[in-house]
Chains A and B, each alone.
Chain A
Amino acid sequence: MKTAALLAGLAASAIFATQGFASDLFDRINAGRYQAILADCAACHTKPGGKPFAGGAPLQTPFGALVPSNITPDPETGIGSWTYEDFRSAVKTGIGKDGKRLYPAMPYPAYASMKDSDVADLWAYFQKVEPVSNRVVSNQLPFPFSIRLSMLGWNWLNFSPREFRPDPNKTAEWNRGAYLVNGAGHCGTCHTPKSLTGADKGDEALRGGNLQSWYAPNITSDTHKGIGSWSIDDVVAYLKTGANRFEIASGPMAEAVSHSTSLWDDADLKAVATYLKDVKGDGAAVPAPLAANDPALSAGKAIYLDRCSACHVSTGQGQASLFPTLAKAPVVNSSDPTSLIRVVLEGSQAAGTTAKPTTPAMPSFGWNLSDSDVANVLTYVRNSWGNAAPPVTAGQVKDLRATLAR
Chain B
Amino acid sequence: MARKLPRKDVVIVGLGWTGSILAHELTDAGLDVVAIERGPWRDTATDFNLAYAPDELRYAVRKDLFLQPAQEAMTMRNNVSQTALPMRDYGSFLPGTGVGGAGTHWNGHTWRFFPSDFVLKTHLTERYGAERISDLQIQDWGVTYDEMESAFDRFEYLCGISGKAGNLNGAIQQGGNPFEGPRKRDYPLPPMQMTYAPTLFAEAARSKGLHPFPTPSANLSGPYVNPLGIAMGQCTACGFCERFGCANYSKSSAHTTVLPVLMRKSNFEARTECEVLKINLSADGKTATGVTYVDVNGEAFEQPADLVLLNAYGLFNVRLMLLSGIGKPYDPSSGEGVVGRNYCYQTNAGTQVFFEGKHMNPFIAAGALGQTVDDYNGDAFDHGPLDFVGGAGLNCIPTNGRPIQYRPVPPGTPRWGAAWKKATKQYYNNTLTFSSQGSSYATRGNYLDLDPTYKDRFGRPLLRVTFDFPDNDVRMSNWISDRMQEIANALGGKQSVVAKLRKGWNSVPYQSTHNTGGAIMGTDPKTSAVNRHLQSWDVPNVFVIGASAFPQNAGKNPTGPVGALAFWAADAIRNHYLKNPGKLVEA
| Contact surface of A with B, Cβ cutoff 8 Å | 307, 310-311, 319-323, 347, 349, 352, 354-365, 367-368
> How far, in whole Å, are A322 and B229 apart by their CA atoms in the complex?
12
- The B418-453 residues at the A interface (CB cut-off 8 A) are none
Contacts of B228 in A (CB 8 A): 357
Contacts of B249 in A (CB 8 A): 322, 358, 360
Are A322 and B50 within 8 A (Cβ)?
Answer: no
- The B510-567 residues at the A interface (CB cut-off 8 A) are none
- Give the interface size bracket for B toward A: 20 to 34
Contacts of A320 in B (CB 8 A): 223, 231
Are A322 and B51 within 8 A (Cβ)?
Answer: no
Are B260 and A319 within 8 A (Cβ)?
Answer: no
> How far, in whole Å, are A365 and B248 apart by their CA atoms in the complex?
15
Stretch binding the partner chain, chosen from B69-77, B232-240, B288-296, B409-417? B232-240
Are B233 and A311 within 8 A (Cβ)?
Answer: yes
Are A307 and B50 within 8 A (Cβ)?
Answer: yes
When A311-B50, A320-B223, A368-B51 are in contact, do A357 and B233 touch as well, CB less than 8 Å? no
Q: Is B230 in contact with chain A by the CB < 8 A criterion? A: yes
> How far, in whole Å, are A336 and B496 apart by their CA atoms in the complex?
61
Closest Cβ of chain B to A1, distance in Å, is 52
Q: Is B506 in contact with chain A by the CB < 8 A criterion? A: no
> How far, in whole Å, are A365 and B249 apart by their CA atoms in the complex?
18
Are A356 and B49 within 8 A (Cβ)?
Answer: no
> How far, in whole Å, are A323 and B223 apart by their CA atoms in the complex?
11
Contact partner of A349 among B45, B232, B233, B261, CB < 8 A?
A: B45
Q: Is B44 in contact with chain A by the CB < 8 A criterion? A: yes
Q: Is B457 in contact with chain A by the CB < 8 A criterion? A: no
Q: Is B312 in contact with chain A by the CB < 8 A criterion? A: no
| Contact surface of B with A, Cβ cutoff 8 Å | 44-46, 49-51, 223, 225, 228-234, 236, 238, 247-249, 260-261, 264
Q: Is the contact region of chain A dominated by helix, strand, or loop, or is it mixed?
A: loop
Closest Cβ of chain B to A290, distance in Å, is 26
> How far, in whole Å, are A363 and B51 apart by their CA atoms in the complex?
8
When A320-B223, A321-B225 are in contact, do A361 and B264 touch as well, CB less than 8 Å? no
Closest Cβ of chain B to A326, distance in Å, is 15
Beta-carbon nearest neighbor of B236 in chain A: A310
Contacts of B46 in A (CB 8 A): 361
Contact partner of B231 among A311, A322, A347, A362, CB < 8 A?
A: A322
Are A360 and B231 within 8 A (Cβ)?
Answer: yes
A-B contact pairs, 28 of them (CB 8 A): A307-B50, A310-B50, A310-B236, A310-B238, A310-B247, A310-B248, A311-B50, A311-B233, A311-B248, A319-B233, A321-B231, A322-B223, A322-B231, A322-B249, A323-B233, A347-B45, A349-B45, A352-B260, A357-B228, A357-B230, A357-B260, A357-B264, A359-B45, A359-B260, A361-B45, A362-B45, A363-B45, A368-B51
Are A358 and B45 within 8 A (Cβ)?
Answer: no
Are B223 and A363 within 8 A (Cβ)?
Answer: no
Are B44 and A360 within 8 A (Cβ)?
Answer: yes
Beta-carbon nearest neighbor of A360 in chain B: B249
> How far, in whole Å, are A365 and B238 apart by their CA atoms in the complex?
19
Contacts of A352 in B (CB 8 A): 260, 264
Contacts of B233 in A (CB 8 A): 311, 319, 322-323
Are A363 and B247 within 8 A (Cβ)?
Answer: yes
Contact partner of B44 among A307, A310, A361, A367, CB < 8 A?
A: A361
Contacts of B230 in A (CB 8 A): 357-358
Contacts of A310 in B (CB 8 A): 50, 236, 238, 247-248
Beta-carbon nearest neighbor of A364 in chain B: B49
Contacts of B264 in A (CB 8 A): 352, 354, 357
